[in-house]
Structure 1
């Protein structure tokens, strides 16, 4: 361990460094110039500062104040042992209140000096050990949290796969619309954590379709009014499935499931919400989902050309879609094309 000793009198430096070296595994670093010492202490790690009070240019209190200010918030800051020839109680109190860990008076008692030095080095070692343990625990918590999030995401993907087996939508569609959603969220100014939640939650948008009967879900033609009523139930069912979890990701997924079929003019379902009463995540996913559904081929329809899908978004901006979400989506068309090219349906590779 390293002990820094600052004193303007050379004989004191020689004496204290000689005593410090009696301690096992301890090295003394001495400075007679306080300014030089302060510069070094700010730039280098060490384990104990032994600081004289009466020095020219910078006294011990001024040195300590400057040094501690540079270490503000650093929990590994070393202890400080103030040494003074003064018996003034007020100076001792000021030193302790200003951040000194302990103090000694001159002439130095060798036994007391070694005992206090040894105790403070042990204190610092214990503090560093505690900080290391805290850091290790934080890392372990991060690992455990990451594992939980990974299992949570696996559960979500399994739910989505269960839905895919019954729904003609493909896994590539889910990936595209999720990344479109993240892209819109990013350019709307949402935080990175909010963008990540939307990316991971968007694939759950139609999870409620697991409860939709096959003859309705897989019907190639237009649904009757009665069948459409049943089909629309998937939004509320998806919400009920996901909202039971307290996990933030599931809560966002539940909100998306229930709100992404709402329309900006209030003509959507299941609640008939209007404008900004529709949760932002629902408004974002509505644009991403509809655009990709239009431009994707299905057993019952051909894919729309990109220009026609863009025109549909523009035409329905303010009625079906939030104009801000549409504007952001179209303003970053290169991002849209990049996502579309990255996540292609299997048939597009053949």
Structure 2
């Protein structure tokens, strides 16, 4: 049996309230009472008292029991409180109306002690059981949501790890190193951090997806990748396909990281003036991710040794970027690069 439950008794006859309280008092319930419907509603909505069950008389002056019940059932904060009608009316229409209003039971006057005790106890048990189930359901939903987020986070972490592994595998086929992809990732993230139209999610995506910018080189023959001399026209045409091949490989994924990597791999050789490849995109038609990685990749390539060239001096590489504002590079990104130059140089020389 549920103990210490709070019961509101509403009846315009004080003796009826006393009788009900005397019958129920040995069960350790807590009581409040009201002698009319208006007072009952004031206790609940103005005073803020909460109840586990309401014993509600039907025939009262002012608001009758049906009207009080209707107002309680219309309010989300009180609609679940079980209401037992107290009535001397036992005609079918009154009983039917009471149940249609949302009452859970009715008890006829004068009260029979065993009936009142049993019905009150039954509906309190049902009410508290329903509350307990609802609480458990909310807890289960919260746990399920937490577990789902944990699994998604683990999956995303695994994707990030696999991207770096694949990128380093690609770098192993050329004279570049894993340090190159790390620097490009940090430079790309830094450009995104200072870009006024990008947010923290973009910064994170660029950091973890930019290492895949040259993953398409795995599809290019090693003799071309390692060729120290200048490419022939045919060889360069073949080399340029690494952008298209990478996009074909990555673009079917629905994962945001892989989708970002597909865009970057496809567009990081496009140029602001439209003379880049593979599609000759121009200006803002190039995705901002592609524009960012284009600058990051070129600056890092210039400042580090490759099999076909020596490393440039930092000041020469910086001058190249600034000189190619609005031709090769997005002018807004070049301005960000220049404004925070010390931070970009730190990345370039730190590894």
TM over 0.5: yes
Deviation string for 1:231-271 (max 9, x for gaps)?
21111111112123332222211111110000000000000
Determine whether 1:160 maps to 2:167.
Answer: yes
Which of 268, 271, 278 is matched with 1:263 structurally? 271
> Could you tell me which residue of structure 1 aligns to residue 43 of structure 2?
59
Task: Single out whichever of 303-312 and 329-338 deviates more from structure 2.
Answer: 329-338
Determine whether 1:279 maps to 2:263.
Answer: no
Deviation of 1:138 (Å): 1.5
> Could you tell me which residue of structure 1 aligns to residue 14 of structure 2?
none
Determine whether 1:131 maps to 2:108.
Answer: no
Rounded to whole Å, the distance in 2 between the matches of 1:173 and 1:113 is: 75
Deviation of 1:146 (Å): 2.5
Rounded to whole Å, the distance in 2 between the matches of 1:164 and 1:335 is: 25
Deviation of 1:85 (Å): 4.9
> Could you tell me which residue of structure 1 aligns to residue 106 of structure 2?
none
Query: Aligned pair in 2 of structure 1 residues 86, 326: CA closer, same or farther (>3 Å)?
Result: farther
Where in structure 2 are the equivalents of 1:16-31 lying within 5 Å?
19-20=27-28
State how many pairs are aligned: 305
Please, what is the CA RMSD of the aligned residues? Answer: 3.4
Rounded to whole Å, the distance in 2 between the matches of 1:20 and 1:335 is: 72
Deviation of 1:160 (Å): 1.3
Rounded to whole Å, the distance in 1 between the matches of 2:311 and 2:260 is: 30
Q: Which runs of 5+ in 2 are unaligned?
A: 11-17, 87-108
Say whether the 8 Å CA contact 2:7–2:51 is kept in structure 1. no
Deviation of 1:169 (Å): 1.6
Rounded to whole Å, the distance in 2 between the matches of 1:120 and 1:155 is: 52
> Could you tell me which residue of structure 2 aligns to residue 322 of structure 1?
330
Q: Secondary structure at the match of 1:268?
A: coil
Deviation of 1:163 (Å): 0.9
Deviation of 1:315 (Å): 1.1
Rounded to whole Å, the distance in 2 between the matches of 1:181 and 1:17 is: 73
Deviation of 1:58 (Å): 4.2
Question: What's the TM-score, normalizing by structure 2?
Answer: 0.75
Deviation string for 1:174-197 (max 9, x for gaps)?
011112112222222323223222
Query: Aligned pair in 2 of structure 1 residues 315, 18: CA closer, same or farther (>3 Å)?
Result: farther
Task: Single out whichever of 155-164 and 329-338 deviates more from structure 2.
Answer: 329-338
Determine whether 1:216 maps to 2:224.
Answer: yes
Which of 50, 61, 75 is matched with 1:98 structurally? 75
Rounded to whole Å, the distance in 2 between the matches of 1:252 and 1:279 is: 10
Rounded to whole Å, the distance in 1 between the matches of 2:25 and 2:310 is: 86
Query: Aligned pair in 2 of structure 1 residues 135, 274: CA closer, same or farther (>3 Å)?
Result: same
Deviation of 1:322 (Å): 0.7
Deviation of 1:57 (Å): 11
> Could you tell me which residue of structure 2 aligns to residue 249 of structure 1?
257
Q: Secondary structure at the match of 1:302?
A: coil
Deviation of 1:199 (Å): 1.6
Which of 341, 344, 350 is matched with 1:336 structurally? 344
Deviation of 1:127 (Å): 0.7
Larger radius of gyration: 2
Deviation of 1:297 (Å): 2.5
Rounded to whole Å, the distance in 2 between the matches of 1:17 and 1:98 is: 29
Deviation of 1:4 (Å): 7.0
Say whether the 8 Å CA contact 1:79–1:120 is kept in structure 2. no
Rounded to whole Å, the distance in 2 between the matches of 1:172 and 1:91 is: 74
